[in-house]
Structure 1
Amino acid sequence: MSTILNEDLVRNLIAKAGVPLVFRSFIKDWPLCQWDKEKWCSVFGDKEIPFRCMKKNFMSDEPCWERRSTKKKMTFKSFVDNLQSSEEWMYFDYKYMHQWFNGDSDLSKNVSWKQFGCADKGIADSTLWVGS
C-alpha cells in the first residue's frame, strides 16, 4: 500500500468528516519545515511585527486572556535573539501570510495544500502562528 494518499481521496475525507482530522507528517516535505532560525529571520527581514506578550510568572485564577497581554513590535530576529533571556512569553498569532509576505517570498513559494486535495490554495489561504 502506498504511503502517499490520493489527493481526491484526501479532499473527500476532509469534506465528509464530521470530526476534526489529524494528518500526521503531511507537511514534512515542505521545505520551510526544515528551515533554521537564520532562514526564518531572513524571510521576515527587518519588518517589525506585532507580538502579544505576557510575563512568564503571571499568576491568575483564570486563563491569560488576550486583553491582559501587551503588544510589542519587533523584528523576528529580535524575537529569536531574546527567546532565552526574556521574562515574557510572546507570540505572533494567526496572521494571514499574504498580509505579511509578498507572493515572491520564499515562504509563499513553499506553501502548498495540494496533498490535501486543494491545489488551488496557497499563501492567501494560510495563517501563521509563531510563539515562544
Structure 2
Amino acid sequence: MKARNKRLILVGSGVALLVAAVALVLSAFQQNLVFFHTPSEVAAGKAPTGKTFRIGGMVEEGSIAREADGLTVRFAITDTAKIIPVTYRGTLPDLFKEGKGAVVQGRLEGGVFRATEVLAKHDENYMPPEAAHAVEQAQKAAQTVSQ
C-alpha cells in the first residue's frame, strides 16, 4: 500500500471518529435537556407528555400533606393563576415551605405532576427568574380579568 493511501485511510478514520464523538455528545445533551414550564402552561397543555420537565412557582398555602409512609408528600405549585398538584417521594429541602418559591422536576401523569426532584429557594428574596416572571405574568393576567 502506498503512503498516500495510508494517510487517506488515517484521515478518514479520524474524521469518522470525530463525527461519532460529536453525535454521542449531542445525543447525551438532548437526553438531559430539561425545559421549564409554568403551572398556567401545564394547565393549557403546552407541557410535554411523557417527558421530564420542570414546573416553578409558589407552594400553595395549606397544600402540603404527608402520607403515612413518611416519605411521600403531596402539595401544589401555583403561579397565582393555575394550580398543579404534585406528589414527591423523598426528603424535601429544609427551606421548602408553603407560600415560598420552589421548582420541581418530573413528569405529568394523569393530571398530577410526579416529581423526582424538588428545589427550594435559598434566601427570602430568591426565586428562579423563570418562576418569578411566570408569577408576575399570572398576576398581571388576573388583574386584567378582574378589572
What is the TM-score of this pair, normalised by structure 2?
0.24
Q: Which protein is richer in strand relative to its size? A: 2
Structure of higher RCO (CA pairs closer than 8 Å, 6+ residues apart): 1
**The structure with more radius of gyration:** 2
